[in-house]
Amino acid sequence: MRIGQVIGKVTMGVQDPALRATRWLLVNPLEGEQLNTACDIEPRMTSLPSLVVYDDLGAGESDIVGFVEGAEATAPFEDPTPIDAITVAIFDWIEHHPYPPEDDDD
């Protein structure tokens, strides 16, 4: 799972029939140093590429979401579905404590 901020929504004029009446969001992945403040202040755009994410949770603009990509994104669907990423969580609060770096004394 990756964590990102919703920066917009996507409207499609033409889409696969399997995806009628679906919501699509534009999500910018967050970098590690943004995780502790992501839910408190407005995170800035990162250098990571934004992506279009299928949303069935009701996330809105500037929400912090967890999303999965690839084969895991298609797991909730019974039939093969052409999506690359799906929201799996909307975060109210994140506390990130990275592991301390390993000693290189060896």
Q: What are the pLDDT digits (tens) for 26-41?
A: 999 998 878 877 777 6
At 34-70, the pLDDT tens digits run: 887 777 767 678 889 999 999 999 999 889 999 999 9
Check residue 58 and give its pLDDT.
94
pTM of the model: 0.81
The label of the residue with tokens 């069935």 reads 56
Alpha carbons 36 and 20: distance in angstroms, whole number: 36
User: Average pLDDT of the chain?
Assistant: 85
Alpha carbons 25 and 45: distance in angstroms, whole number: 15
For residues 66 and 92, the answer to whether their CB atoms sit within 8 Å is no
Check residue 49 and give its pLDDT.
93
Q: How far is CA 45 from the centre of its chain?
A: 14
Helices (H), 19-96: 71-74
Alpha carbons 67 and 75: distance in angstroms, whole number: 13
The better pLDDT of the pair 106, 95 is held by: 95
Quickly count: other Cβ atoms within 10 Å of residue 48's Cβ. Answer: 12
